């Protein structure tokens, strides 16, 4: 394909005139059937790197994605853009639905899967019947982050790819240090891949860190920022109850267009809140990191971290939700002493403790089911449980029925835990250092990723001087549901009933008071 | 009185000291077991089955303690009964929560969620399609729901007509309810230019407690389902949306299997053998079946004479405590007593029901 043809396709299929940095290079490599590792900053259009080739390659594109919600969002985005041949397959689909989809699998062009569902033999058999032209691993840093510990399905991707006829592999990520990139290539079995590495830097996001004396100062500051910054914005906190508290506090101070979002909500509520945010019906969303991946809202103006993320990669990912439209945006990290305790505790809880490992190892092995149930009864978090389970499996515990785990295997597991914890603590202290240090924040992120990012002239970071006033809101937004509700009027509007017996005209859309709830942004 | 207090008080009244708190917690939570199914029937509380799905034991106990402190119930031998003051309060409670009369958990709880998902996506799509706007974010991502909506969705010209019809259906139904119920209902729906609100957000807008919003909304769903089914001709669109939902399956799954075998003419012993289950389990199933299926005859299991003695004892003793009845009728098994009371449930249960 000539460049001109590519550009025509880009415009006709996606409506874009120009490729963004890196897209064209990656796509051309894919057409040469090379394996590719592409690192491009958050929100700059990595999806296009496999979507566009999808229209040229004869077979289907298989995309391995770490999160159910991410897969669903991407399928939805494709459908919105008029591509119906997209589907997400995951272990949670009910039987009937799965059968319906599997029967017409060859119809689909873009097939999203979780690494776990690729462990299923039936699934592999069905996929083998298709021709897969491209094997994509999205958010590929997850291999390194989770693959070793409890999502070991990630480690089997390379053998699955060869079962599927060794289609070219495209690994995508926004945040991977050279060390992680090497790990990705190893685990995926693509040692000779072409690497396209772009800086993680997002020049349109100004980076601010603030240190506060005590916790309460942070609360006041969040309130102040949320009341004065131009939205929409995201406030990240690290626990469910904090997201609720923050949103309640903002509401009590008259900010009505705020909601909390976290994994503890009913699925139905989560979807509603997400859609409200996407439709600009909310200004602020207070959330845990359950919110974010897959959210492709172009106009997010700020991301505030009320709590410290556990490493700089996560931080870069999370602030990457801001400014996808390319406009100037802001990231603020609020810190007060003792803030590292919480992530520290999370690190501890992610792994089983020594006593638990020793106890489990002393039990004679029996069936998997029984072992899982026993783990359920012990007070361990989900990830600690899965870690322990997979480590035992790896040590061959279950194939040695009736015997406890040998001592040397047990020691290996214990030292692995020590290693992983030490590694994570190191990442955490790097994060703390970054937050507190007197240096250009942007340049420092570059250093961590072994890049040569430089400070920028305007709106760089809190060290390089920055005028927060630029980010303040110019005008007040309308409030949420100030008018009394009339259900008759609502109902008429829903179904487009222009007038009714009472001669009360609903008239045009803009005459509907409900419409004002949409705020100024519509 | 808050929702949990009111509903708990109501259950205490209905069970009238014949079950312990944990005995009806499952009922409130909506856990289908032989016990809750037969109790629901026996004490005439089936309609409130699953009305407080998230209620925890601790919370229930704490609430009971509050009620006790407020003098609305009294405690005797580990069993609660309602005081006169409690009766009065309960009346007030139902006066201000009259929407609860429409709640029918036993019948509609399983269909609630699927019906809501379907209705809201259908309305959202319709509201956009009639304005030729196809770029909205669907409020459901569940492929099964998307598929069901798609197969029922009208084409081109028919869309506005469908909207007119659904408008008439919903308008008629909402008019039968209070304004607050109707407001709750429409605010939960997504339409062109507005995403539906969560229960919590509706509570904030209308300034009422979140549980109340939830129950008003669920009651409305039950009401819609009932109407959609009952008056088929008048509610064409709603009927179409409710079709195929899992309604009217009162039995536990396991009891359903037993029921199928009975219908194939298998005897109780054969069923025990075929299903490799304990006798007592199959007995539980028969009690469930006796409660729910008119055409199931208990005569092969209890003689006429025994049936008379059991009903007699019940009328004299005026209790549904099996133990008390059993003590009186030494030679008759618990199974037979439960079977007879279950079969007679409707007749027995009508004494002064609040609902
Ligand atoms: N060439 C282009 N010109 C203009 N916009 C583009 C171009 N390519 C992609 N986009 C838009 O950029 C946005 C972000 O794209 P995408 O979701 O693929 O980002 P991403 O790199 O995968 O981000 P993340 O790291 O968060 O997953 C989308 O709205 C997409 O339509
Ligand atoms: Mg992406
Ligand atoms: Zn700087």
Q: Note whether B205 contacts A: Cβ–Cβ < 8 A.
A: yes
- The alpha carbon of residue A95 and the mean position of all alpha carbons in its chain are separated, in whole angstroms, by 27
List A residues 87-126 in contact with B (Cβ-Cβ < 8 A).
87-88, 93-94, 96-97, 100-101
Give the Cα-Cα-Cα angle B93, B98, B103 (nearest 5 degrees). 110
Top mean-pLDDT range of A326-335, B109-118, B142-151, B256-265: A326-335
Which of A453-462, B198-207, B309-318, B325-334 has the weakest average pLDDT? B309-318
Q: Note whether A348 contacts B: Cβ–Cβ < 8 A.
A: no
Q: Note whether B68 contacts A: Cβ–Cβ < 8 A.
A: no
User: Where are any strands of DSSP class E within A174-328?
Assistant: 194-197, 205-212, 233-236, 258-261, 284-287, 302-305
Higher pLDDT, A466 or B247: A466
Based on the number of CB atoms within 10 Å of its own CB, is B237 exposed (0-12), middle (13-18) or buried (19 or more)?
Answer: buried
3-state secondary structure of B227: helix
Dihedral of CA atoms A209, A211, A212, A218 in degrees, nearest 10, equals 20
Which of A143-147, A156-160, A459-463, B184-188 has the weakest average pLDDT? A143-147
Residues A257-268 have pLDDT tens digits of 999 999 899 889
In a domain, B355, yes or no: no
Residues B92 and B110 in one domain: no
pLDDT at A511 over 80: no
| Residue in A250, A259, A200 with CA at minimum distance from that of residue A229 | A250
pLDDT at A376 over 90: no
The partner residue sitting opposite A496, judged by closest CB among B131, B186, B187, is B131
Considering the four listed CATH numbers 3.60.110.10, 1.10.10.1100, 3.40.50.300, 1.10.569.10, the one that applies to the domain covering A205-343+454-471 is 3.40.50.300
The answer to whether A223 touches A249, Cβ cutoff 8 Å, is yes
Q: Note whether A296 contacts B: Cβ–Cβ < 8 A.
A: no
The chain-wide mean pLDDT, for chain B, equals 87
CA A360 to chain B, closest CA, distance in angstroms equals 31
pLDDT at A136 over 90: yes
Characterize the bridge pairing of strands A110-113 and A60-64. parallel
pLDDT more than 70, % of chain A: 93
Ligand 1 contacts CB of residue A173 (under 6 A): no
The partner residue sitting opposite B194, judged by closest CB among A87, A281, A492, is A281
In a domain, B235, yes or no: yes
Phi/psi at A276 (5° precision): -60, -40
Phi/psi at A399 (5° precision): -90, 5
Measured between beta carbons, which residues in chain B are less than 8 angstroms from residue A278?
137
Give the per-residue pLDDT at A219: 96
Give the Cα-Cα-Cα angle B298, B300, B304 (nearest 5 degrees). 75
Q: Kindly list the domain boundaries of chain A, sorted by start residue.
A: 3-197, 205-343+454-471, 349-427, 487-521
pLDDT at A439 over 80: yes
Residues B173 and B198 in one domain: yes
Q: Where does a domain end: B96, B128, B149?
A: B96
Mean pLDDT of B93-100: 94
pLDDT at A519 over 60: no
In a domain, B247, yes or no: no
Which of A52-56, A390-394, A412-416 has the weakest average pLDDT? A390-394
In a domain, B305, yes or no: yes
Distance separating alpha carbons of residues B338 and B322, to the nearest angstrom = 8
| Residue in B220, B239, B247 with CA at minimum distance from that of residue B102 | B220
Dihedral sign of CA atoms A142, A143, A146, A150 in order: positive
Q: Where does a domain end: B197, B214, B242?
A: B242
Mean pLDDT of A117-142: 92
CB contact under 8 A, A485 and B187: yes
Give the N- to C-terminal CA distance of chain B in Å, as an integer: 19
pLDDT category at A501 given cuts 50, 70, 90 is very low
The answer to whether B354 touches B101, Cβ cutoff 8 Å, is no
* β-bridge partners, A236: A287, A305
Phi/psi at A132 (5° precision): -100, 120
pLDDT at A384 over 70: yes
In a domain, B354, yes or no: no
Ligand 1: which of A14, A44, A313 to mutate, judged by most atoms within 8 Å of the beta carbon?
A: A44
Q: How many independent structural domains does chain B possess?
A: 3
Residues B206 and B309 in one domain: no
Give the CATH number, domain containing residue B326.
1.10.10
Residues B89 and B109 in one domain: no
In a domain, B192, yes or no: yes
pLDDT at A481 over 70: no
Distance separating alpha carbons of residues A396 and A388, to the nearest angstrom = 13
Residues B222-271 have pLDDT tens digits of 999 999 877 667 899 998 898 877 655 567 778 888 888 888 888 888 88
pLDDT at B348 over 60: no
pLDDT category at A378 given cuts 50, 70, 90 is confident
Mean pLDDT of B280-309: 84
Residues A352-361 have pLDDT tens digits of 999 999 999 9
pLDDT at A332 over 80: yes
pLDDT category at A330 given cuts 50, 70, 90 is very high
The answer to whether A142 touches A92, Cβ cutoff 8 Å, is no
pLDDT category at A20 given cuts 50, 70, 90 is very high
Centre of ligand 2 to C-alpha B343, Å, is 61
Mean pLDDT of A141-147: 82
Which of A439-443, B68-72, B318-322 has the weakest average pLDDT? B318-322
pLDDT at A163 over 90: yes
Residues A271-329 have pLDDT tens digits of 999 999 999 999 999 999 888 877 889 999 999 999 999 999 999 999 999 999 999 99
Distance separating alpha carbons of residues A519 and B18, to the nearest angstrom = 56
Residues B218 and B343 in one domain: no
Give the per-residue pLDDT at A424: 93
Contacts of A346 (CB under 8 A, 6+ apart): A238, A310
Give the per-residue pLDDT at B249: 59
Enclosing domain of residue B41: 3-96
Residues A221-240 have pLDDT tens digits of 999 999 999 989 999 999 99
Distance separating alpha carbons of residues B63 and B66, to the nearest angstrom = 5
Residues B114 and B185 in one domain: yes
In a domain, B229, yes or no: yes
Q: Where does a domain end: B207, B242, B277?
A: B242
Q: Which string of b and e fits B243-252 if b means at least 16 CB within 10 Å?
A: eebebeebbb
Give the per-residue pLDDT at A85: 94
CA B17 to chain A, closest CA, distance in angstroms equals 35
CB contact under 8 A, A514 and B187: no
Dihedral of CA atoms B179, B182, B186, B189 in degrees, nearest 10, equals 150
In a domain, B353, yes or no: no
Report cis status (omega within 30 of 0) of the bond before A174. no
Residues B229 and B337 in one domain: no
Mean pLDDT of B84-88: 94
Query: Residue A292 has what DSSP assignment?
Result: -
pLDDT category at B334 given cuts 50, 70, 90 is confident
pTM, 2 dp: 0.81
* β-bridge partners, A285: A234, A259
pLDDT at A499 over 60: no
pLDDT at B326 over 90: no
Residues B27-48 have pLDDT tens digits of 899 887 778 888 888 888 889 9
Q: Note whether A497 contacts B: Cβ–Cβ < 8 A.
A: yes
pLDDT at A509 over 80: no
Measured between beta carbons, which residues in chain B are less than 8 angstroms from residue A101?
143
Phi/psi at B231 (5° precision): -105, 65
Q: Note whether B132 contacts A: Cβ–Cβ < 8 A.
A: no
Give the per-residue pLDDT at B48: 93
Give the per-residue pLDDT at A476: 65
Give the per-residue pLDDT at A518: 34
Residues B213 and B267 in one domain: no
Residues B140 and B208 in one domain: yes
Residues B13 and B52 in one domain: yes
- The CATH number of the structural domain formed by A3-197 is 3.40.50.300
Dihedral of CA atoms A325, A271, B205, B109 in degrees, nearest 10, equals 170
pLDDT more than 90, % of chain B: 45
CA A490 to chain B, closest CA, distance in angstroms equals 7
pLDDT category at B345 given cuts 50, 70, 90 is low
Mean pLDDT of A410-426: 93
Give the N- to C-terminal CA distance of chain A in Å, as an integer: 40
Residues B55 and B110 in one domain: no
Residues B223 and B262 in one domain: no
SS (H, E, C) A409-468: HHHHHHHHHHHHHHHHHHHHHHHHHHHHCCCCHHHHHHHHCCCCCCCCCCCCECCCCCCH
List B residues 261-300 in contact with A (Cβ-Cβ < 8 A).
none
Give the per-residue pLDDT at A430: 96
The answer to whether A138 touches A169, Cβ cutoff 8 Å, is no
Residue A480 host element (H or E): none
- The alpha carbon of residue B212 and the mean position of all alpha carbons in its chain are separated, in whole angstroms, by 17
Residues B10-21 have pLDDT tens digits of 999 998 888 888
């Amino acid at each position: 394909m000539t460049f001109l043809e590519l550009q025509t396709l880009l415009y006709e299929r996606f409506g874009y005139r120009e490729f963004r940095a890196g897209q064209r290079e990656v796509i051309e490599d894919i057409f040469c059937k090379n394996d590719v590792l592409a690192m491009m900053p958050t929100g700059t259009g990595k999806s296009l790197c496999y979507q566009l080739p999808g229209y040229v390659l004869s077979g289907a594109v298989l995309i391995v994605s770490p999160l159910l919600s991410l897969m669903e969002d991407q399928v939805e985005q494709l459908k919105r853009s008029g591509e119906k041949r997209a589907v997400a397959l995951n272990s949670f689909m009910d039987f009937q639905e799965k059968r319906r989809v599997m029967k017409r699998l060859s119809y689909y062009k873009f097939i999203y899967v979780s690494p776990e569902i690729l462990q299923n033999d039936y699934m592999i058999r069905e996929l083998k019947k298709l021709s897969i032209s491209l094997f994509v691993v999205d958010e590929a840093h997850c291999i390194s982050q989770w693959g070793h510990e409890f999502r070991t399905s990630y480690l089997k991707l390379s053998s699955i790819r060869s079962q599927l006829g060794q289609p070219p592999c495209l690994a995508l990520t926004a945040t991977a240090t050279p060390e992680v990139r090497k790990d990705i290539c190893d685990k995926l079995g693509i040692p000779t891949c072409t690497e396209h590495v772009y800086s993680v830097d997002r020049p349109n996001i100004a980076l601010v860190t603030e240190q506060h004396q005590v916790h309460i100062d942070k609360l006041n500051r969040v309130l102040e920022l949320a009341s004065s910054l131009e939205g929409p914005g995201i406030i990240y906190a690290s626990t469910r109850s904090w997201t609720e508290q923050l949103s309640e506090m903002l509401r009590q101070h008259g900010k009505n267009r705020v909601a909390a979002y976290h994994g503890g909500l009913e699925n139905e509520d989560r979807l509603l809140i997400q859609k409200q945010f996407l439709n600009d019906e909310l200004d602020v969303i207070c959330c845990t990191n359950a919110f974010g991946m897959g959210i492709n809202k172009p106009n997010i103006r700020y991301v505030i971290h009320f709590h410290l993320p556990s490493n700089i990669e996560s931080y870069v990912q999370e602030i990457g939700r801001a400014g996808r439209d390319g406009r100037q945006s802001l990231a603020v990290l609020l810190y007060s002493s003792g803030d590292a305790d919480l992530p520290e505790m999370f690190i501890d809880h992610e792994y089983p403790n020594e006593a638990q490992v020793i106890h489990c190892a002393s039990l004679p092995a029996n069936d998997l089911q029984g072992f899982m149930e026993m783990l359920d009864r012990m007070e361990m978090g989900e990830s600690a449980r899965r870690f322990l389970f997979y480590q035992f499996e790896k040590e061959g515990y279950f194939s040695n029925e009736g015997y406890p785990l040998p001592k040397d295997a047990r020691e290996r597991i214990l030292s692995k835990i020590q290693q992983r914890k030490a590694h994570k603590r190191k990442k955490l202290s790097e994060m703390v250092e970054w937050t507190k240090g007197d240096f250009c924040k942007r340049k420092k992120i570059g250093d961590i990723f072994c890049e040569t990012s430089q400070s920028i002239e305007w709106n760089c970071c809190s060290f390089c001087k920055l005028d927060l006033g630029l980010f303040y809101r110019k005008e007040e937004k309308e409030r949420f549901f100030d008018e009394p509700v009339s259900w008759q009027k609502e109902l008429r509007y829903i179904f487009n009933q222009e007038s009714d017996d009472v001669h009360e005209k609903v008239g045009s859309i803009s005459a509907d008071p409900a419409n004002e709830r949409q705020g100024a942004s519509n | 009185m808050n929702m949990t207090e009111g509903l708990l008080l109501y259950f205490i009244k209905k069970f009238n000291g014949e079950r312990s708190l944990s005995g009806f917690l499952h009922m409130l939570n909506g856990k289908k077991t032989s016990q809750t199914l037969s109790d629901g029937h026996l004490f005439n509380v089936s309609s409130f089955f699953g009305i407080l799905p998230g209620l925890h034991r601790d919370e229930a106990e704490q609430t009971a303690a509050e009620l006790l402190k407020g003098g609305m119930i009294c405690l005797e031998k580990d069993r609660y009964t309602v005081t006169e003051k409690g009766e009065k309060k309960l009346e007030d409670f139902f006066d201000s929560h009259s929407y609860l009369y429409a709640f029918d958990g036993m019948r509609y709880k399983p269909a609630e969620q699927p019906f809501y998902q379907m209705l809201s996506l259908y309305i959202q799509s319709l509201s956009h399609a009639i304005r030729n706007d196809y770029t909205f974010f669907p409020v459901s991502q569940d492929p099964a729901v998307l598929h069901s909506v798609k197969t029922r969705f009208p084409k081109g010209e028919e869309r506005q007509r469908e909207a007119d019809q659904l408008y008439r259906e919903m308008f008629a139904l909402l008019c039968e309810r209070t304004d607050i119920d109707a407001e709750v209902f429409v605010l939960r729906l997504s339409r062109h230019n507005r995403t539906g609100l969560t229960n919590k957000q509706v509570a904030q807008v209308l300034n009422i407690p979140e549980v109340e919003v939830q129950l008003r909304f669920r009651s409305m769903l039950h009401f819609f389902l009932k109407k959609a089914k009952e008056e088929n001709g008048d509610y064409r669109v709603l009927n179409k949306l409710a079709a195929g939902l899992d309604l009217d399956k009162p039995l536990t799954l396991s009891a359903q299997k037993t029921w199928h075998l009975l219908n194939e003419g298998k005897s109780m012993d054969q069923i025990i053998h075929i299903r490799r289950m304990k006798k007592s389990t199959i007995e539980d199933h028969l009690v469930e079946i006796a409660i729910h299926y008119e055409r199931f005859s208990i005569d092969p299991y209890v003689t006429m004479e025994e049936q008379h003695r059991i009903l007699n004892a019940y009328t004299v003793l005026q209790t549904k405590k099996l133990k008390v009845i059993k003590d009186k009728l030494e030679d008759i098994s618990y199974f037979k007593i439960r079977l007879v009371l279950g079969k007679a449930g409707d007749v027995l249960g009508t004494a002064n029901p609040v609902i």
